[in-house]
Amino acid sequence: MVHILEHEDPILFVPGPSKLIPAARAALARHVGHRCPEFRKMFRSTVEYLREVFDTEGEVHIFTASGTGAVEAAVTNFITRDDKVLVLNFGTFGRRFREQIERKCRNVIEYKVEYGLVPSPDKVRAFLEQNKIKELDVVVTVFNETNPGTVLRERVRDFAKLAHDYGAIIIVDNVSGLGGDYFSCSRWSIDVALSSSQKCLGAPPGLSFLTLRTYEAEKKLNKTTSESTYFDIKISRKFLQKNETPFTPAVNVLAALHAALKYILENVGLATWIRWHYERANIIIKALTMLGLEPFVKQEDVRSVTVLSFKYPSQIIAKTLRNELYKKVGIDIADGMDELRGKIFRIGNMGWITRRDLMLLISSIGAVLCEYNKEISASLGEAIREVFSCYLSIA
């Protein structure tokens, strides 16, 4: 038997990288010099597109790095050794952000909640009062937690207010949510936000971005000396004014990101693109629930639409489901991370996903489940019909 992956790319349902928008894939073939007029025009347009996606009037800096590079840029440019930093930790990437800060800062306060939940602004205020903390310099949070699949949504506005009440700026990691869920630096008073190319924007891996938009963020930047040359925003700013980057960027990836953003913003519309993510999430959750699978995140209003997490069924060894999907039909889904490894699987609902992709995902998961529980075969038919007949504005 010919292995499926010998002649086809896998279908990516992981929490990044995502399946590329066709225009982005085509744009990868472009080759232009990074100091020529054509590059400057493309770069300027890409920055303006990103400002629209972030909903910010502030400047946007683009780095040739994964999302972790933007995290490092935030730490090196906005946090000093003596700062008092509050980190909200409700998943793997909140923990990683804290660890990155602890490399530099000696006064890190962590507020941690159980995986599957998100912090409550009122409880965080009570925590600060209980510990007699009257001032902070920086508050850090993840917006959309890839592991376990939770999201703050408009709660981030309350955390921005909390930060400002304590004299701090807020830094928000939105690597896995930007372009897939509603987000606004301007309306939610976010000082610094960051993201990357390979998630909901349907572009290749290799670029990350950071925006700063407030006087407070600017003042904090001016008080901080970056230990990094590569991620120094003050250096980046000098070149941003010329529509260039300080160092050779991933030009082909930038061209692909530009093409993806142009497609989203000019052909589809950002609100519609985000709605597609919601529509797909709803149908995946409904169909898999019909197959007897249980969403890991119980509270619907904190359940991510870009990373959907489910408990493994008791009759299946954790790696079996993922291995069978990959080996037989080339579908790639993700295991849980850290303490959730082997307990949940995660479906990345990001970027360019069609109705046909959804049909294959649901039917293939159902087929694997049927091998272990014949009683769900009737439910599989219902779940497939649900996907086929549901309203989806996507192709």
CATH 1.20.120.1200 for the 4-18+269-389 domain, yes or no: no
What span, in angstroms and rounded, lies between the C-alpha atoms of 394 and 302? 24
- Predicted local confidence at residue 384, as pLDDT: 79
DSSP 16-71: SS-PPPHHHHHHTT----TTSHHHHHHHHHHHHHHHHHHT-SSEEEEESS-HHHHH
What residues in the chain have per-residue pLDDT under 50? 1
Q: Give the domain ranges of the chain.
A: 4-18+269-389, 22-265
What is the distance between the alpha carbons of residues 332 and 327, in angstroms, rounded to a whole number? 9
Provide the CATH number for the domain formed by 22-265 in this structure.
3.40.640.10
Tell me the pLDDT tens digit for each residue of 128-150. Answer: 999 999 999 999 999 999 999 99
What is the model's pTM? 0.95
Task: Give per-residue pLDDT as tens, 263-281.
Answer: 999 999 999 999 999 999 9
Give residue 316's identity as a one-letter amino acid code. Answer: I
Tell me if 341 sits within 8 A of 319, measured CB to CB.
no
CB 292 within 8 A of CB 79: no
The confidence score (pLDDT) of residue 1 equals: 47
> DSSP class of residue 139?
E
User: Do the domains 22-265 and 4-18+269-389 match in fold?
Assistant: no
pLDDT at residue number 176? 98
Q: How far apart are CA 324 and CA 75, in angstroms?
A: 41
What SS3 state is found at 334? strand
